[in-house]
Amino acid sequence: MGQRWTKKALQDLALEVRGEIAAGPHTRLDLERLIGEYDIPVYAMSDLADSCSPEALDYFTSRRPEAWSAALVPVGTARFIVENSTHTLQRRRSNVAHEMSHLLLEHQFEGILFADGGCRDLGPEMALKEKQAAALSGELLIPVAAAIGAALSSRTDEQVALQFDVSLQFAAWRMNASGARKIAQRTLQKRAAGIRH
């Protein structure tokens, strides 16, 4: 089985990685800088025409354009990311962050790793890795401390999406899955109770 990561370990890793590119927990993640720091080339599918084998190109283009978001491709010991550039910029940010997360977690895999897993049965080990990559990409783009801060300031999902340059869907997922809305609600209730006493 792959390595186990606690929630806390993933949170710490995300902050550490943000720190490497001098990003605090409350700012928009500069993904360009992150992939530069790790020297991971990111290609759009259209860039691959010159450098990719016809088979590989066929592999990507034969899928429906909306059916895949990004993939991590091994070349010997190196890796590069291919992303679906037909998606919105915000969605592309989370797609690339997801693939970067597999890399940061040092996930071992054979062949090409797709962000969405498609309809394949992933098996328990890959399913765990997918969960870890999803969690880490969430922490990278919106660290839990930032999510709680935003919830305490009663920021809407739309405002959070703008602040961190992610899709509304991603912001909404993050604000709930991180527990930020619940934690903020409790804190605000306690504060209100404190005032009444």
Q: Amino acid identity, residue 101?
A: S
Give me the residue label for tokens 């961190």.
164
Q: How far is the CB of 98 from Zn ion (least distance, A)?
A: 6
Say how many residues touch Zn ion, by CB under 5 A. Answer: 3
Q: How far is the CB of 68 from Zn ion (least distance, A)?
A: 11
**Measured from the CB atom, is 71 or 151 closer to Zn ion?**
71
Interface with Zn ion includes 104 (CB under 5 A)?
A: no
Residue by residue, DSSP assigns 6-59 as -HHHHHHHHHHHHHHTT--TTS---HHHHHHHTT--EEEGGGHHHHS-HHHHHH
Q: Tell me the residue nearest to Zn ion as measured from the CB.
A: 133
Q: How far is the CB of 28 from Zn ion (least distance, A)?
A: 22
- Distance, CA of 43 to CA of 125 (rounded, Å): 27
- Distance, CA of 183 to CA of 2 (rounded, Å): 31
**Measured from the CB atom, is 128 or 152 closer to Zn ion?**
128
DSSP state of 92: H
**107-146 residues near Zn ion, rule: CB under 5 A:** 115, 130, 133
DSSP state of 83: E
**Measured from the CB atom, is 122 or 188 closer to Zn ion?**
122
**Measured from the CB atom, is 35 or 133 closer to Zn ion?**
133
* 156 SS3 class: coil
Q: How far is the CB of 113 from Zn ion (least distance, A)?
A: 6
Instruction: Lay out the site mask for Zn ion across 27-56 (x = CB under 5 A, - = otherwise).
Output: ------------------------------
Q: How far is the CB of 15 from Zn ion (least distance, A)?
A: 21
- Distance, CA of 171 to CA of 163 (rounded, Å): 10
Please provide residue 121's backbone torsions phi and psi, each rounded to the nearest 5 degrees: -80, 115
Q: How far is the CB of 130 from Zn ion (least distance, A)?
A: 5
**Measured from the CB atom, is 130 or 165 closer to Zn ion?**
130
Please provide residue 75's backbone torsions phi and psi, each rounded to the nearest 5 degrees: -130, 95
* Contact footprint for Zn ion (CB under 5 A): 115, 130, 133
